[in-house]
Chains A and B, each alone.
Chain A
Amino acid sequence: MSLLDVRDLSVVFQRRGERPFTAVDKVSFTVEPGQTVGLVGESGCGKSVTSLAIMGLLPKRGNKVGGEVLFDGTDLLKLRPNDMRDRRGREISMIFQDPLSSLNPVIPIGVQVAEVLERHQGRDRKQALREARDLLDAVGIPDPQRRLSEYPHQISGGMRQRALIAIALACKPRLLIADEPTTALDVTIQAQILTLLKQLVDDTGTALVMITHDLGVVAGLCDTVNVLYGGKVVERARRHELFAHARHPYTHGLLNSVPRLDSPRGERLHAIRGSVSDNIPWTEGCAFAPRCDNVVDACLEGPPPLEPTATGGDLRCNNPVSEEVTVR
């Protein structure tokens, strides 16, 4: 059984007097224990909303969540709020994008790590602080004893993200959702944090859902990749398969728009035409059609289904990029 089995997850934002907006449209994917799964896409493709829906952290009002989120066989969406709260931080944790604003500015780092241990493991403050020091040490924060009493604004961005990772992994959760964990960091620190994350999930057997728009992150970390567009999964493949033979024109475009050192001089960087807002509703056709180079008549006649591919992935496209074409 999969650790996490998301089935037809939908999130519809509905505000009074406005047309409902479907942010996540029947997204399904699974995460096996210990596996790292990527959710990739541009801003606005629904990747963060997906993660918040899994965690049950969407605002109570103004949205409708449908489908199932089976965690170890239990549908998280059907849990009572208190039961879900007991699982968050203990069985499922989450790391957010901006490490400074994700830490409470008026509480010392050590207490923030200790808080989650007190909450879920019933430790007293003294014991929790001792464990917090070990955790900070484990995520590579130098001089952890001193950091315990320091405030978030006193430590560097990299250290803050390390501290957040320590907090998220404090109770050894079985699933960690990382929502763009390196976006707010310097490139040099990004690599360190990714290495740390990879090492920690490998050693603890924690499954990782990596949400990112950065294909470099995917390349280094993920076993399986789900590419999202307009709130739907458009392509799913094993990492190597995806990078070698991306079938969906969108994935293909994404990979081709990464600048490369070995491209010929003077060649212009490839870009996908238009922007995320240039889409048509999935009910009318393929949302990517207005930006697609491979568009055919069928693309405007209804939503293409998500179909298994020969290489074990899934693909939602009427006219995919030929399997022989490799990404340049």
Chain B
Amino acid sequence: MDMWKCLKEGRQLPIPDEDTLVFWEGCRRRRLLIQQCDDCHAFRFPPSPLCPQCSSSMATWRQDSGRGEVLTFCVYHSELAGPAWRSKLPYVVTVVELLQSRVKMLGNLMVTDPDLVRIGLEVRLEFETIDNRITLPQFRPLSDCEGSRGLQSRSKR
């Protein structure tokens, strides 16, 4: 289903709206804010007006430390996402489970050698400032010898 999205010249950036503004404003201030339901206490991401677990509209934004673990990843070797990504090839897109709030987030994994990335790798949050409106949450391996310390154990299922 590529070939019909993301083909504009520049990088496609988020467009904050009524439901996501707090999240993006938090990122701009270098805080990762995740919604927690006031009634059933479930965390949810991406931001949503109602809790998918209990339909409550009452929620509180909690700051997350941004520590997490790689659940899976892929490596782009082609500029399917458009010309803006040409200079970044190869780049890694990962799904990270945050250890604190247990939500799953997408991000780029900032590594020099994608071959060393493993499922189970521990990561930390790093903010990438794009412009004065948008700052993106990104991830970087926790250990300095990036990628070489991926947890070998399978995650609990």
Does A associate with B in a complex?
A: no
| B interface residues, Cβ below 8 angstroms from A | none
